[in-house]
Amino acid sequence: MSSADPNAILEVAERNELEAILMEFDATWEPKSLPSLWQRLASYPNPTFRHLALRELIKVDFQRSWSAGNGRLLNEYLTSFPELGNNESVAPDLILAEYEARKSVDPTLDLASYESRFPVQFAAVKDRVGKLLDSAVDDSSNPKRTEQEVGQASIDTSRVDQLRDTPSISFYFTLSSCCQSRLSSSQYLGGGCAEQRKISR
């Protein structure tokens, strides 16, 4: 796990607990299930855990809700959960998560449309999208990739509940018409398409 990963500041037991919460949420997701789950977590004693959990739950909710045809914009989450900040202070990874979820159902979505909504964070989001797209292209054009690796990259996130007994799980989010949300059997937490988000056991 990268030292830049915000989840790295959690204790191992808390990371494992957060992983379990995310897996449960993904497996049992319903359009309005986030508020009720958040009520259960609101009394958790560690404020850092609560904040990270909320951010990761929203990323899952983005993917699920947009795929189901009833996605919401990040601004609505900011209204419901003011602890996330406002348009000028919200974490770039949540902006990116919204963009990825929308892009997966609307390949024509223009990243430039986010500049007016999030002017402070836009440069960082644009830079990350560029790097991650470059990474996705490099991976897809690597002639040394085995058929098994290519197959693993196309496992849909809806199968997350089938991997409950694996040592660790992770999301991949990828962009463009040929890049959709992905799941591999080696990572789970974090933000960024095609970017590894891993929980160390």
Over residues 116-145, the mean pLDDT reads 82
For the ranges 116-125, 136-145, 177-186, the lowest mean pLDDT is seen at 177-186
Question: Domain extents for the chain?
Answer: 6-184
Say what the pTM is.
0.68
d(CA 28, CA 62): 15
- For residue 157, the model assigns a pLDDT of 36
CB atoms within 10 A of CB 3: 6
Answer yes or no: is pLDDT of 163 > 90.
no
Answer yes or no: is pLDDT of 144 > 60.
no
For residue 88, name the pLDDT band (cuts at 50, 70, 90).
very high
For residue 6, name the pLDDT band (cuts at 50, 70, 90).
low
For residue 5, name the pLDDT band (cuts at 50, 70, 90).
low
Concatenated DSSP letters for 55-118? HHHHHHHHHHHHHTT----HHHHHHH-GGG--TTTS-HHHHHHHHHHHHHH-TT--GGGGTTT-
Over residues 110-136, the mean pLDDT reads 93
State both tokens at 117. 């909504």
- For residue 141, the model assigns a pLDDT of 61
Over residues 87-107, the mean pLDDT reads 97
Q: Which residues of 98-107 are buried (b: 16+ CB within 10 A; e: fewer)?
A: bbbbbbbeee
What average pLDDT is seen over the chain? Answer: 75
Question: What is the percentage of the chain residues whose pLDDT exceeds 70?
Answer: 64
Answer yes or no: is pLDDT of 189 > 60.
no
